[in-house]
Chain A
Amino acid sequence: MIFRLAMKNILGAGLRTWLNIFILSLSYFVIIALQGLYVGWQDDASREMKNWDFAGGQYWQETYDPYDPFTLEESHATIPEDLQKLIANGEAISILFSPATIYTDGRMRNIVLKGIEPSQNLIELPTNFLTDSDGEINCIIGSGFADNLNIKEGDYIVLRWRDKNGTYDACDLKVAHIFSTTVITVESNQVWISLSILQEMLGLPNEGTIITVKDEKYKKEFFSWQHKDLDFLLLDLTKMIKAKTIGSSIMYMLMLFLAMLAIFDTQVLSIFRRRKEMGTMMALGMTRLKIIQLFTLEGVLHAVLAILMGAVYGIPLLSHFEKVGMKIGMDAKEWGLSGLDDALYPVYGWKLVFGTIVLVLIIVTIVSFLPTRKIAKLKPTDALRGKMTK
């Protein structure tokens, strides 16, 4: 009975109802679209970072700290036997880091020299270019860094490093390939060469700094190695995206605010405007509880109708974005962000859609309930006196 009355009240109110429902549906739509963009970005970026860097997780030699260049020289250890087996099966790769200096164009630059097995195919880094050829030492570097140094494929750079005994040595590296990636952790300030050559250069056979494994579930403990799972490795990304999306959360708040306004107009204002109507219903013998139920349900029905209306135009639009992606007019690397291509592919998970719907429903319910309850608590005579033109 309450449901039918609420429905009648809504549909009887005509155009205004539909306008409000439309605004509500728009806020659903924008909230979901924006959040989808955010999720899509995060998905994209974390996929790229897994493909290029983290695979299924990493073991870090215990003193290794990516933010501390001074301990880098000591951050290496013998690879545990179990991990060596994984490496032999192609289910893990070990990477050795060493601080080094390069000279190009008469300028000097401190870098991280990274050694990796050329035949690996666990991460997308094009390490096949590191295979030795005619006695030269090949290296690969990322395009951003190469631009920065002003070097091209085929150029030579002078490398100077210190071996484990602290003895300086130098040699020429040939830039065999310049790769392009969105993952800055494998390109900024670093030069990749073959693992066996680096081990030889440093005098550290069988040692590594990090070991990247394929299997996310592989979490065995090893002495002097620390396992870092993907949650940890992607934490920076997650944090960064959160920080960078403040702009979008402002939009989000704005939309929520608009949604509230729509609800406020239909609910709060009209409920106060409809005081006399409530008073009349009381006089006709409707109980307070029923009146509260009726008017709250009316608000909730607005939100439900908005979901239906939003679905009508929202689903085709959102799935279009999902397929085609959204062009973003800026250079992601300028933002210092990983994993951002020039087009973003938003992802609309059921969690996101469902969460937004529930959120708006809860807000609508509260915003409908509170003023209704307030008026329903009035004496019928006071409610009846409510100013209202027929």
Chain B
Amino acid sequence: MNIIIIEKMSKHYPIGGGKFTALKDIDLEFTKGEFTGIVGPSGSGKTTLLNIIGSLDTQSEGNVEVMGNPIRKLSSKKAAKLRSQHIGFIFQTYNLLPVYTVFENVEFPLILLGISAEKRKEAVLDALEWVGLSDKAKSRPAQLSGGECQRVAIARAIVKKPNLVLADEPTANLDAENSHHILKTMKKLNEKLGTTFIFSTHDAKVIQYLRRKISLLDGKVSNDEIINEDDYDL
């Protein structure tokens, strides 16, 4: 089942008097439960693509449907609803809310969904356990290491058990050990919850975890392949 359909999609940015084409004629489909990386050099359009899929931005041409929602036609309210209900984000710079504790950061998406305090607590504690941060619930982001911050961000993205998690270079600010830990965590959640993960990266360490690798070059898909088929089940 395709949860994302992208057809003949292009994205232009206005610059000066003209426009800059960041993505050109993209055709892609993603099915439920994928664990997919988008790789490519800097400036190839990875972030742009993820933003459009995540309804944070809109395409200039073509169609993008995410779980049946045509991205370009969504009002800002509908887009917010789509993100709130179905999409989790993980950012390169973590983007934790600085005044909240770890617990409160992870709880935030559930508050937006109007979930009761009791159920929120249960879900947050579960999510923190998945990422191995149960003992840091009361800490504030400033007291955590980068790797821990990113794990909080993962917990925040998956706490509502979304269909889709979009991660833009989640390991770019982390050392090797933390990168592996993060990827293992994501992979585990992908298998356990069936959540679709799409992330952008130009980190070679990441490639070995991928099931599918989409390569972008100058705003175009240059390669799209299933990899690591043999050890994928391990």
Contact = CB atoms under 8 A, between A and B. Distances in A.
A282 B56 contact: yes
Contact of B98 (A282, A289, A390): A390
B63 interface: no
Contacts of A380: 56-57
Contact of B99 (A1, A9, A280, A286): A9
A110 to B, nearest CB: 76
A12 interface: yes
Interface stretch (B25-33, B104-112, B212-220): B104-112
Interface in A281-310: 281-290
B77 A8 contact: no
A5 to B, nearest CB: 7
A381 B111 CA distance: 22
B83 A390 contact: no
Nearest to B157: A284
A153 interface: no
Contacts of B84: 284-286
A276 B104 contact: no
A280 B95 contact: yes
Contacts of A286: 80, 84, 112
B80 A379 contact: no
A5 B57 contact: no
A13 interface: yes
A384 interface: yes
Given A13-B99, A277-B97, A390-B141, A284 B56 contact: no
B56 A285 contact: no
Contacts of B91: 280, 283, 384
Interface string B144-163: 00000100000010000000
A8 B76 contact: no
A282 B94 CA distance: 15
Interface residues of A, number: 25
A276 B82 CA distance: 20
B17 to A, nearest CB: 20
A283 B111 contact: no
B76 A285 contact: no
Interface string A353-390: 00000000000000000000000000111001000001
A381 B91 CA distance: 12
Contact of A280 (B87, B97, B142): B97
B54 interface: yes
Contact of B51 (A277, A288, A289, A381): A381
Contact of B112 (A13, A279, A284, A390): A284
Nearest to B48: A381
Contacts of B56: 282-283, 379-381, 384
A279 B104 CA distance: 17
A282 to B, nearest CB: 7
A283 B113 CA distance: 14
A380 to B, nearest CB: 4
Interface string B139-183: 001100000010000001000000000000000000000000000
A56 B25 CA distance: 89
Nearest to B94: A390
Contact of B100 (A12, A285, A287, A288): A12
B94 A287 contact: no
Contacts of A384: 56, 91, 95
B112 A8 contact: no
Contacts of B51: 381
A284 B77 contact: no
B81 interface: yes
Contacts of B93: 390
Contact of B89 (A283, A290, A379): A283
B96 interface: yes
Interface string A261-291: 0000000000000001101111111111110
B57 A277 contact: no
B80 A8 contact: no
A148 B57 CA distance: 84
A229 to B, nearest CB: 59
29 contacts: A1-B111, A1-B114, A5-B111, A277-B97, A277-B98, A279-B95, A280-B97, A283-B91, A284-B83, A284-B109, A284-B112, A285-B82, A285-B83, A285-B113, A286-B80, A286-B112, A288-B80, A289-B77, A290-B112, A379-B56, A379-B57, A380-B56, A380-B57, A381-B56, A384-B56, A390-B94, A390-B96, A390-B98, A390-B142
Closest 10 CB pairs of A and B: A285-B84, A12-B99, A285-B83, A380-B56, A280-B95, A287-B80, A283-B89, A381-B57, A381-B56, A284-B109
Interface of A: 1, 5, 8-9, 12-13, 276-277, 279-290, 379-381, 384, 390
Given A279-B95, A284-B89, A384-B95, 10 more contacts: A12-B98, A283-B56, A283-B91, A284-B156, A285-B83, A285-B109, A288-B77, A379-B57, A381-B57, A390-B149
